[in-house]
């Protein structure tokens, strides 16, 4: 199963504006070309946080700095 890409900021802005202007969820999804659930989640996020910017953080172990790498090699 493919993982879908995030919507670009322009599409998220279109979703918010269409919903604020009274468009239905189905018509908004058709306008942007995304799923019904994506429209609902993006509009809910905008309602709660006031922004639709994606703030994902990196996963995994933090990278070492050059000094730590040199120290690890010496030891």
| Residues 21-74: tens digit of each pLDDT | 999 999 999 999 899 999 999 999 888 888 777 666 667 777 767 777 777 778
Q: Distance from first CA to last CA of the chain, Å, rounded?
A: 45
Do 64 and 71 form a contact (C-beta atoms < 8 A)? no
pLDDT, residue 30, reads 92
What pLDDT does 57 receive?
67
Band of pLDDT at residue 2, cut at 50, 70 and 90: very low
Residue 1: pLDDT over 50: no
40-63 burial, b if ≥16 CB within 10 A, otherwise e? eebbebbeeeeebeeeeeeeeeee
How far CA 20 is from CA of 2, 9, 28, 44, 55, in Å, comes to 31, 17, 11, 12, 23
DSSP 45: H
């Amino acid at each position: 199963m493919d993982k879908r890409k995030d919507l670009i900021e322009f599409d998220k802005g279109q979703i918010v504006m269409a919903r604020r202007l009274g468009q239905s969820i189905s018509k908004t999804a058709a306008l942007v070309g995304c799923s019904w659930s994506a429209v609902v989640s993006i509009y809910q996020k905008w309602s709660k946080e006031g922004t639709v910017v994606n703030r994902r953080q990196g996963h995994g172990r933090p990278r070492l700095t050059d000094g730590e790498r040199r120290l690890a090699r010496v030891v």
